[in-house]
Amino acid sequence: MEAVIAVVALLFVLFLVLGAYATVKVVGAAKRGVDRTITQARRTVEDHTLRAKSFAQPGPAGEVAQLRLKLRTSMRATQDALHARVAEDESLKESLALFERLSAHGHELDDELRRLESEPDRAALAERLPALRERTERITRSADSLRWAARDRARRFAEDDLDTLSAQIDVEAGALRHWTETEQTPAPPAWPQAPAADGPTGRQTWPETPQSRPAEETTRPAITPPGPRPTYPWQKKTRPESTT
């Protein structure tokens, strides 16, 4: 009885642990989903704000907003492209590692540009714009290079697979259309010709008709005539015929 109670208690504790673990996993997944949604919404709002500033604010402040928007758009597009294809192509892991290093420089530049948006000294900001423009161009050019290389690689693999598939389909289509090819039936054997004349070399393949038998066979009597009749003692001898 005590063993049964211990087993029931152990099962109860196990169910409690499993329930708590499942609850933590569900809450964590929900929290990550909420955080992802909030981050996405914040990025969208910030991008629209930067776009509005780039058109509304003239001068260095507007150009800083344009540089920041260009940097964020390029880095986000490259990140999405690499993460989307790394599961299918293992060779992109090295490219993703290089992008992570590039992202560190991109985040540093983005933070600097965000601080300069509220810079009151427009003259000092204009002096720093060429260097900021060059850094932004170098980072975005590297990010674009990685992104387009990953896309070209995926497109090349797709074209190679399509070429192989097309060749296999052509072979299969040819096999399916094999019934349209007319097969030549062999000609029947020629009938044997009758010999031109009877001779030792002539050979008859069909039975002869009665008309084709030789003349001596047709005139031969069907029944052999009997031999000379026997003579008996009581019969008179036949006289020889007179020659006169």
| CB 60, CB 129: distance < 8 Å | yes
Structure-block tokens of residue 160: 């190679």
Buried b (16+ CB within 10 A) or exposed e, 102-125: bbeebeebbeebeebbeeeeeeeb
Structure confidence at residue 86 (pLDDT): 85
Cα gap 220→205, rounded to integer Å: 26
Query: What are the pLDDT digits (tens) for 105-148?
Result: 999 999 999 888 888 888 888 889 999 999 999 999 999 999 99
Task: Give residue 73's pLDDT.
Answer: 92
Structure tokens belonging to residue 175: 């096999």
pLDDT, tens only, 180-235: 555 555 666 666 665 555 555 455 554 555 555 555 555 555 555 556 666 655 55
Tokens 């300069």, residue located: 116
Give the integer Cα–Cα distance in Å for 114 and 210: 125
Q: Could you give the percent of the chain with pLDDT greater than 70?
A: 60
Q: What average pLDDT is seen over the chain?
A: 75
Q: What pTM did the predictor assign?
A: 0.54
Segment 61-73 shows an average pLDDT of 89
**In the predicted model, is pLDDT for residue 34 greater than 60?**
no
DSSP H helical ranges for 57-121: 60-85, 92-116
The answer on pLDDT for 88 being more than 60 is yes
